[in-house]
Amino acid sequence: MEELFFFIPTRSDAEKRLIAAIEELSPGMSVRVFRDADSLRRKLLSGGIRTLAAVILATTKGDLLSVLTLRELLLDFRLVMILPDADEMTKAMAWRMWPRFVSYADGDFRDVAGVVQKIIGTRPKRKRGTSTHGREPGRNRNWSPLPLR
């Protein structure tokens, strides 16, 4: 069974925004949320489940430190990390985990949802006949594909 898992040790407003941004994903996808490093470690060591991606929401530096202890177990996963701030030390700790994408906890997480959708191979749901860009592309009337003679 394929699944997507989240490591969210601290409940916060950022968690609600992240879940809201991700909920448009495929309804058949199994999603698991882990709140502490020990339960995540047990899950990673048990095996048997093909995980498509792991999203780590660290709203504090303590959250980030708790997941760093699992570095060796997470190296084989497609990892998306959400950091508490853009401090150089915070970024250095996060990049030791070799994530595919890094974002920050003060955002709206549309970028994270887009990366997760790309990883798991789904597209956002939209109404039939609507453009993904919100408008039709413009046309340059002065350009012609034919050479002038």
Domains of the chain in sequence order: 2-120 (3.40.50.2300)
Q: Are 29 and 49 in contact (CB under 8 A)?
A: no
Mean pLDDT by 10 residues, the chain (149 residues): 80 87 66 88 78 87 91 88 93 92 90 85 51 41 47
Nearest to 79 by CA among 115, 121, 106: 115
Q: Report the C-alpha gap between 80 and 98 in whole angstroms.
A: 9
Prediction pTM value: 0.74
Nearest to 12 by CA among 57, 52, 62, 43: 57
State the pLDDT at residue 141: 43
State the pLDDT at residue 29: 62
Q: What is the identity of the amino acid at 121?
A: G
**Angle at which helices 37-46 and 61-68 cross, to 10°:** 30
- Which residues fall within 8 angstroms of residue 84, CB to CB, at 6 or more apart? 58, 59, 60, 61, 63, 64, 90, 104, 105
Q: Report the C-alpha gap between 69 and 147 in whole angstroms.
A: 63
